[in-house]
Structure 1
Amino acid sequence: NAYPRIMYTELKNADDSYADNQARSSEVRFQISIFTNSNTVSKETKIAKEIDRIMKSIGYGRYDSQDLYEEADKVFHKAMRYKKAFFKEEK
């Protein structure tokens, strides 16, 4: 059980805006979670900044961030959520 750990989850990948009954774009959302314990929590901020830099460099915007504590496991959990719209080419 080594820490820190990073886990990503796709939250949404669906057509978004419509015109003339055709999807014009899709929206993709991810949650990236950083898990640390009491020995590694000091690394969380540096990791979060690097994740934020990478996600923004590929066009994702952060729309939420929560600092949580998983009481049962005694683990710190930083959940960062990102989204990006992809516009479809007209045929």
Structure 2
Amino acid sequence: MSVPRRRAVRRSGNLAAAGELVRERRLQLGLTQADLADLSGVGLSSVRALEAGKESVGLSLALDVLAALGLGLGLGPRPALLRAPDVLLLGQARDPR
């Protein structure tokens, strides 16, 4: 009898890069995932999901975690953001069709 196996999920692209940035900042500050969850007022599973780049993480939750890390989220015209230093640009280019 075969046992069902959980499908491996590969995270790539913008959300994975954002999650890695969150993880790196957390480690720079000497925080565990549990510490960050406490500081930001979210659950540990939410911090893990954010660092994993999962699409299910809500914006409000992500903003709470970013604030606890001293990071922010900005909006602006794409060309200006592409020229800005130290900016991770999220979002996919739209298909012009």
Q: TM-score range by the shorter chain?
A: under 0.3
TM-score, normalised via structure 1 length: 0.28
TM-score, normalised via structure 2 length: 0.26
Larger Rg: 1
Choose between structure 1 and 2: higher strand proportion: 1
